[in-house]
């Protein structure tokens, strides 16, 4: 059974930091691309950060570059999202995802057919 379980969300003041974790099982973690998405109240889901399975190349949503960092620990089958300098606009439910990226370039849409966690709430107060 495939499982992705997020943790680390919570309430933080603007300017603070949080590190989200996503523990996975049931698939070959190091052979899958991984990503974090988020969905704010009343808005659609958006990609936050993704990492390729081939060379662990990572990319970010442009507005978040420099504040958020995605990482992976293959020995623990766990991915992380370090979030710094948080803003109230970062308030959202954050989801981790994993997908077989195939041979094409990695993109957000690759994860539409992947595995997803249940989400963790991040609330940033002003």
Instruction: Please report which helix (H) or strand (E) contains residue 3, including its range.
Output: strand 3-7
Going residue by residue through the chain (126 aa), what tens digit of pLDDT does each one get? Answer: 999 999 999 999 999 999 999 999 999 999 999 999 999 999 999 999 999 998 789 999 998 989 999 999 999 999 999 999 999 999 999 999 999 988 878 899 999 999 999 999 999 999
Tokens of 31: 């052979």
For every residue of 15-53, DSSP letters joined together read T--EEEEEEEESS-GGGSEEEEEEE-TTS-EEEEEEE-T
């Amino acid at each position: 059974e495939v499982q992705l379980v997020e943790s680390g969300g919570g309430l933080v003041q603007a300017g603070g930091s949080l590190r989200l974790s996503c523990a996975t099982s049931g698939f070959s973690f190091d052979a899958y691309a991984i990503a974090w998405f988020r969905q704010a109240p009343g808005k659609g889901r958006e990609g936050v950060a993704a990492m390729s399975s081939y060379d662990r190349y990572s990319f970010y949503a442009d507005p978040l570059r420099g504040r958020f960092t995605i990482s992976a620990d293959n020995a623990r089958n766990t991915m992380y999202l370090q979030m710094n300098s948080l803003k109230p606009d970062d308030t959202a439910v954050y989801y981790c995802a994993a997908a077989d990226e195939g041979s094409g370039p990695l993109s957000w849409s690759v994860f539409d057919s992947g595995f997803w966690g249940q989400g963790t709430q991040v609330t940033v107060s002003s």
